[in-house]
Amino acid sequence: MQATLGGSPSFVWRSILEARKVISDGACWRIGNGTNIQIMDQPWLNAENSHVTTVSPALENQMVASLFRSHTREWELDTIREVFNDQDQQHILNTMIEQDLEEDVLNWKFENSGNYSVKLATTCWKIFDPGIHIGDNEEFHTWLERNLTRKSDNIKAKVVTLCWSIWRSRNDLVWNKKIWQPMFIVAKTWEYLSQWKTAQNCFSVAPMSPPTAGDGAIIWAKPDLNEVKITTDATIFAEKGFSGMGIIARNHEGYLITAKSSTRPEVMQPVLGEALAIKEALSWAKEIHSHIVTVETDCLVAVQLIRSAVPMRSRMGKIIQDCREIIREVNNIKLYFIKRSANMAAHELALVSHMYPDCNFNWTSVPSMLRIVSEMSL
């Protein structure tokens, strides 16, 4: 955080340094044993403002572990209600103590990986591949002029549009604290480029190709004979303070084998909820030894993270790693991204998960609305 701009900073490095305050504001602790986090002076709450607002001499120099029940990793409710104001009480009880995390871990809460990466632009560049390489230690305008001089109009349009998208994402983060994932930046780039070419009455641009063959279905399709297809979705009920998920398994005839709805008493980031639903579905798939199982989700970011080999320090990272290991251990599991229109059954179940918390269903016990949605896709 003490780095300087330097004599000839790259476009990426200049943008990162200008967003230094945002990086600092985005730091947040994941709670393991609670012995490394000071209650008063460090960010650890699951809230937009991760710092405690209660002022009390009793909290000076105290660690988060002091708020645990004796010999457990559970919140001591009486102490919390006695010492903290109402806002902090709510935020503390909505903050998870991670039972499988041995020590506390500091990460950046605005990125799924938990690390603030100076390579966001590089990641977008590699995914989009506009036809030229990012320059190092070179003024942006010099690099741009040097690389575009002898390039085709198509490459020039791609480069300029991608730069504009990255800059917009940077501004949205700095001024609005809105997070653009790399795949979203790339998708917006294609959208801007397509709109511009249409407006210029130029040649049309084909939509962005699915990352993997089999991705991008817009209509749910039955699995092949003797195969099982599991669809998943998650929903965040921010006003009610919890998250829900829906998981549905169907056979090659399209009929429901089993379904599950569940809730968690915390307001998760949407991608985290989707990843948990995928992990649950993969755990189901692991138990089905006699069938090939396809798991489908409408969360492209989660699918991309699971397919990648990027190391991740965050809570999200632990879930993603668990998903990777299940897929690696079991050779009869396939994971695909589908559009929301192909995932309506799981989506509807997630929406009513608060009405059926931690329930398992078969074809006769499943809610009638969900049965209707499932039958419509047959």
pLDDT tens column, 318-355: 999 999 999 999 888 999 999 988 898 899 899 989 88
Structure confidence at residue 10 (pLDDT): 47
Structure confidence at residue 327 (pLDDT): 93
> Alpha carbon of 63 to those of 60, 70, 223, 237: distances in Å?
9, 14, 52, 31
Rg of the chain over CA atoms, in angstroms? Answer: 24
Structure confidence at residue 117 (pLDDT): 52
Cβ neighbours for 156, distance < 8 A, ≥ 6 positions apart = 148
Angle between the 120-128 and 11-18 helix axes, to the nearest 10 degrees? 140
Structure confidence at residue 203 (pLDDT): 35
Nearest to 196 by CA among 151, 159, 161: 161
Grouping H, G, I as helix, E, B as strand and the rest as coil, residue 113 is coil
Alpha carbon distance 220, 345 (integer Å): 9
Structure confidence at residue 204 (pLDDT): 38
User: What are residue 87's phi and psi, to 5 degrees?
Assistant: -65, -50
The reply to whether the predicted model has a pTM over 0.85 is no
User: What are residue 270's phi and psi, to 5 degrees?
Assistant: -50, -45
Instruction: Determine whether domain 227-376 maps to CATH 3.30.420.10.
Output: yes
Structure confidence at residue 74 (pLDDT): 93
- What does the CA dihedral 283, 287, 290, 295 come to, rounded to 10 degrees? -10
pLDDT tens-digit map of 189-245: 877 776 666 555 433 333 433 467 788 898 899 999 989 999 999 999 888 888 999
Cβ neighbours for 373, distance < 8 A, ≥ 6 positions apart = 344, 345, 348
Question: Cα dihedral sign for 32, 38, 43, 44?
Answer: positive
E strand intervals along the chain: 27-30, 105-108, 227-237, 242-250, 256-264, 292-297, 333-337, 359-361
Grouping H, G, I as helix, E, B as strand and the rest as coil, residue 28 is strand
Instruction: Report residue 23 as tokens.
Output: 């990086």
The domain ranges of the chain are: 32-103, 120-199, 227-376
Torsional class of 318: left (φ above 0), alpha (ψ -120 to 50), beta (otherwise): alpha
pLDDT-flagged residues of the chain (< 70): 1-26, 108-119, 135-141, 174, 194-211, 290, 368-378
Look over the chain and give the mean of its residue pLDDT values, rounded to a whole number.
Answer: 80
Structure confidence at residue 17 (pLDDT): 47
Instruction: Report residue 131 as tokens.
Output: 């036809």
Structure confidence at residue 202 (pLDDT): 37
Strand partners, 121: none
